[in-house]
Structure 1
Amino acid sequence: MQQRNHYKKIEDFLADESFQKWVREGKERDNWEEWTVENPQRAKLVAEARLWVLATRVQESTLSSSEVAAALQASRDKIKSIEKETAVPSIPLWRRTGWRSIAAVLVLGLALGWLLKRQTLTQDTLTYTQLINQDIQGLIEQANNTHKPQLITLSDGSSVLLQPKSKLSYPKSFEGDERKVYLSGEGFFEISKNPKKPFFVFANEIVTKVIGTSFRVKAYTDQPNVEVVVRTGKVNVSSNQAITQLNPETVQLLPNQGVRFARKKLTFEKITDLTLEKPEAQSVIAIEQLSFEFSDVPVAQILKTIEQAYLVEIDYPQEKLKDCYLTTSLSDQPLPEKLKIICESLGNMTRYEMNGNRITILSEGCN
């Protein structure tokens, strides 16, 4: 604050990163506004410097040669307007020899540099293969080349229902203070709760961060959008680190909310009510439609619901469990946790074994 009290020229403001952030992004807004209105002469100088920053600001999502020319002309028009309206004894910055040419080169350089950087990011650096190559852990890749979803159980007890034409890369065990997996295609995730070890799903341009919840990520490489839809819990969706500077936005999603990330424009579109979406755009799978709230329900019916949701086969002693009923909530747990809760509720040394998409319940009946 003390340093800016000595600003006497527009160049002083242009060299101040805090001032540029205030003009372009609204950061430190209150501090700058309060300081500006303290002195009328200072306010006039700030206004001129602010217009200069805005004249070099690139806002278009795509830039053609005609749009670059239009941006240059707009900058010239702003400069001419300032010259007519401002009567300052000293020679304004933009009237000095060479500054108009510098302004034009600056705008053009920013525009072309921004466009080149954006094309490089979207076309070359955010593929599934490059993301997994950056991970220093040894990863296991599961590819679903079948015509139906496949169930993947992770080392922390989380489960993923991987859709056809999709791939998931994950470590054999999660080390450190984070859990990271990489998706190409579509998967429904149910994450084991661990507040001290957040879970991240990297899917091309976006990253989904959760602690423990269930959600769907759709990120096919040949489709224009990446989508995240939450069933239970809360998630934060943001741009991958490589494009954060182009879109630093983070979107928080609650149950039955979703967001689309437009890969061409690098923008988010939040969906607050999925029921308003067109049916063909929802891609809803069975696990998102079924209820896991059970009140005095036969165990056989509960196991049947799990079979339908996860597309698995469950073998269990039907005769021994035919008179067993349960009241329980299984809505916010991954599959291994669901099975654990059922077995503990039945008692009598009931346990389960899982082998791929086949589950065996071993029990002597219920208590």
Structure 2
Amino acid sequence: MKKRNKYREIEDFLADESFRLWMRSKNDMAGWEDWTLDHPKRAKLVEEARLWLLAMKVPEHDLTQEQLDDALQNTWLKIEQKEQSPKRENKLIKVWNDGWFGKIAAVLVLGLLSFYAYTNYFTAANTDFYQEQIVAHAEADGLLEQINNSNKPQIINLSDGSSVLLQPKSKLSYPKVFMGNERKVYLSGEAFFEISKNPQKPFFVHANEVVTKVVGTSFRIKAYTNDSDVEVLVRTGKVKVNSEKAYSKSSQKEIVLLPNQALRFERKNQTFKKITDITTDKSISSSVRSIEQLSFDFTDIPVSQILKTIELAYSVEIDYPKQELKKCHLTTSLNDQPLPEKLKIICKSIGNNSSYTMNGNQITILSKGCN
């Protein structure tokens, strides 16, 4: 394993038989996955080497002749430049002598072809690369992982009082307790976030190639693995969105979104499109969910109706003493409040030592009636 610590080029990985075995058959007898986690700076090289292996399976007739000619010409120019270096020449000779490479006429020619393979053939397979790397580091830090394999949304309560409504076929990785001066979670799929306010400890959502930063607000992120776009939609408050690359470089080129604004990140072109009025975008306006439409401002409204609104918004079931709360009415604003805070406010307003318990999507309210 010490040998691979010296790998600095894609060819180094491709020449390693154990690496090829891992990529092609997922046989990780040599411990490549653990090594990659321990060397996050090499993750990009590992991914590029993987794409080279995939590119070797690209049918030639699926590329135009012009693309093929340009790829060959540009790649051979790179080869000629590398051959001018004695060290590189020795390495190329060593790689060429490898029996596996001997079956391929100049494997480096496929280097540029891998770009076409990536954009034209393997986008769906690789769109979750950033998320895979992020979650890999997250798992190394001992984060909890919630995967929604059901057919309805699941509510997740975080240690800071924030709540997340996780949609089906989605995954959230998060710490049991937020430590340090930042709060970070990792999303693959779709979720609606309601973040508790804490200006001294900003909240970050890493979702594939996009990072969303907030202090206290509610918003939705849609970042499924095979989707061509990542979408961020703000319901209340303000969020700042950046690309994962810019975030890793501490770039300040953030895009600010206000209520009823959205942003679409096009993965293929790596470009952002800000939507200042979501009603003008059919795709986003048609995907708005109940929790993003319902109002949580209540004026002299029966408690039973307020609880029904919460059930519709969060896809939860609330068990409460209907007879005891039959005559109870509340006037309150629960906008921009995470679900646990909404329930606390309701119970406090009802009084008489009212309380609630929560087990997944099942909520139970205990009360002897209004004050």
The two structures share one fold, judged by TM-score above 0.5: yes
Alpha-carbon distance in 2 for matches of 1:255, 1:124 = 28
TM superposition shift of 1:137: 2.3
Give the alignment partner of residue 291 of structure 1, picking from 283, 290, 295.
295
Residues 233-248 of structure 1: pairs in structure 2 closer than 5 A: 233-241=237-245
Give the alignment partner of residue 256 of structure 2, picking from 243, 252, 262.
252
Distance 1:176 1:259, change over 3 A: same
Alpha-carbon distance in 2 for matches of 1:266, 1:216 = 20
Match for 2:210: what amino acid?
I
Whether contact under 8 Å (1:228, 1:259) holds in the other structure is yes
Residues 158-307 of structure 1: pairs in structure 2 closer than 5 A: 158-241=162-245, 249-278=253-282, 282-307=286-311
Whether contact under 8 Å (1:183, 1:203) holds in the other structure is yes
Post-superposition Cα deviations, 1:66-115, rounded to whole Å, max 9, x if no partner, equal 999xxxxxxxxxxxxxxxxxxxxxxxxxxxxxxxxxxxxxxxxxxx99x9
Query: Is the partner of 1:319 in helix, strand or coil?
Result: coil
Match of 1:328 in 2: 332
TM superposition shift of 1:258: 0.2
Mark the runs of 5 or more structure 1 residues left unpaired by the alignment: 1-62, 69-111
Match of 1:316 in 2: 320
Whether contact under 8 Å (1:239, 1:248) holds in the other structure is no
TM superposition shift of 1:129: 2.0
Post-superposition Cα deviations, 1:309-331, rounded to whole Å, max 9, x if no partner, equal 11111111111111111111001
Alpha-carbon distance in 1 for matches of 2:298, 2:326 = 16
Mark the runs of 5 or more structure 2 residues left unpaired by the alignment: 1-65, 72-110
Alpha-carbon distance in 2 for matches of 1:279, 1:223 = 13
Distance 1:332 1:312, change over 3 A: same
Distance 1:327 1:222, change over 3 A: same
Query: Is the partner of 2:151 in helix, strand or coil?
Result: coil
Pair 1:342-2:346 in alignment: yes
Alpha-carbon distance in 2 for matches of 1:65, 1:244 = 34
Alpha-carbon distance in 2 for matches of 1:211, 1:195 = 5
Query: Is the partner of 1:189 in helix, strand or coil?
Result: strand
Match for 1:277: what amino acid?
D
Whether contact under 8 Å (1:205, 1:243) holds in the other structure is no
Alpha-carbon distance in 2 for matches of 1:220, 1:181 = 16
TM superposition shift of 1:364: 1.3
**TM, length-normalised to structure 2:** 0.65
Whether contact under 8 Å (1:231, 1:288) holds in the other structure is yes
Alpha-carbon distance in 2 for matches of 1:199, 1:190 = 11
- Structure possessing the higher radius of gyration over alpha carbons: 1
Distance 1:281 1:222, change over 3 A: farther
Give the alignment partner of residue 157 of structure 2, picking from 153, 164, 182.
153
Alpha-carbon distance in 1 for matches of 2:67, 2:257 = 35
TM superposition shift of 1:148: 1.1
Match of 2:136 in 1: 133
Query: Is the partner of 1:148 in helix, strand or coil?
Result: coil
Query: Is the partner of 2:185 in helix, strand or coil?
Result: strand
Alpha-carbon distance in 1 for matches of 2:69, 2:264 = 30
Alpha-carbon distance in 2 for matches of 1:287, 1:193 = 19
Match for 2:233: what amino acid?
V
Post-superposition Cα deviations, 1:37-74, rounded to whole Å, max 9, x if no partner, equal xxxxxxxxxxxxxxxxxxxxxxxxxx968999xxxxxx
**TM, length-normalised to structure 1:** 0.65
TM superposition shift of 1:184: 0.5
Query: Is the partner of 1:321 in helix, strand or coil?
Result: coil
Query: Is the partner of 1:305 in helix, strand or coil?
Result: helix
Post-superposition Cα deviations, 1:8-35, rounded to whole Å, max 9, x if no partner, equal xxxxxxxxxxxxxxxxxxxxxxxxxxxx
Alpha-carbon distance in 1 for matches of 2:242, 2:225 = 18
TM superposition shift of 1:286: 1.1
Alpha-carbon distance in 2 for matches of 1:307, 1:172 = 26
Whether contact under 8 Å (1:320, 1:365) holds in the other structure is yes
Alpha-carbon distance in 1 for matches of 2:195, 2:238 = 11
Alpha-carbon distance in 2 for matches of 1:202, 1:189 = 13
Alpha-carbon distance in 1 for matches of 2:247, 2:350 = 50
Query: Is the partner of 2:324 in helix, strand or coil?
Result: helix
How many residues end up aligned between the 2 structures?
262
Whether contact under 8 Å (2:219, 2:233) holds in the other structure is yes
Alpha-carbon distance in 1 for matches of 2:169, 2:350 = 38
Match for 2:359: what amino acid?
N
Distance 1:65 1:356, change over 3 A: same
Whether contact under 8 Å (2:146, 2:173) holds in the other structure is yes
Give the alignment partner of residue 365 of structure 2, picking from 350, 361, 366.
361
TM superposition shift of 1:125: 8.4
Match for 1:128: what amino acid?
Q
